[in-house]
Structure 1
């Protein structure tokens, strides 16, 4: 499992994930907000399976 996401991509995904999960508790309070677990998990691990399939890397080369 190699890291294929840059820091800006990870920050945006983490923010989107937290906002979506917050929608479960505040706002429309629908269970669709739990979909925010996916971007939050990919941000935590730094690896996006869709990026791997498409050959995309947003991280800087070492």
Structure 2
């Protein structure tokens, strides 16, 4: 997982996902001008992924 500070996606072989966290029950963006490069969609909840930015891997649904 890498954090990219750009609106341009540069994630070879990875998926760009929003940097998000659950705060007081709601999903919030933690770094609005950045995205994470992760393996979202591979069935495993990996580093940087959570139920807000990768619900398919990490369970839950994004409100």
Q: TM-score, normalised by structure 2?
A: 0.23
Q: TM-score, normalised by structure 1?
A: 0.23
Please identify which structure carries the higher strand content.
Answer: 2
Please identify which structure carries the higher helix content.
Answer: 1
Higher relative contact order (CA 8 A, sep 6+): 1
